[in-house]
Amino acid sequence: MAEKASESSNSISLNTVDGKIFKVSPTIANQMQTIQSLIKAYDSSRVISLPHVNAFHLSKIIEYLEGKSATTVSAVKEFEAQFMKDLSLKQLKGLLIAVGYLKVNELLELMPKTVAKLIENKSVEFLRKFFGIVNDFTPSEEAKIREEIAWAFDGVDED
């Protein structure tokens, strides 16, 4: 597991917002651009604090980076599909934020596609709740918009 101490003295220590320390190899650390920049700017022997990443999300990022080493395209696609399938919407949203903060390029490409598939055909109310968007329309404004573009609401899933 990622939280276990690495045998290598070259490991990088990452401290999550909830106080968990992860030791990762330089190979894994270098796939996170934010960590890579911090290693260059500071001494890599010190613990790097991650104020916007919790232990669950960092463990999932490390799991992905360690697991994506499949050699065939189909094996990689299968791994990615299984990795994303196991996440709840709340976990996916938090992971997307953590991935953006750490700048994990491969996940930055994969995750928006996954989110797009999950929110396809969802109601406006669902999307507002999921993304934390405040409805600033009056009821009459919203009714008018819904009337003008009624076609956009056809086939929308129930929440």
Contact 76, 66 (CB under 8 A): no
Domain ranges of the chain: 12-120, 121-159
Residues 38-60, mean pLDDT to the nearest whole number: 89
Higher pLDDT, 43 or 56: 56
CA atoms within 13 A on the CB side of 42: 11
* Distance separating alpha carbons of residues 34 and 42, to the nearest angstrom: 12
Residues 133-148, mean pLDDT to the nearest whole number: 94
Contact 52, 71 (CB under 8 A): no
How sure is the predictor about 153, in pLDDT bands with cuts at 50, 70 and 90? confident
Residue that the structure tokens 């700048």 belong to: 103
Residues 110-131, mean pLDDT to the nearest whole number: 88
CATH 3.20.190.10 is right for the domain spanning 12-120: no
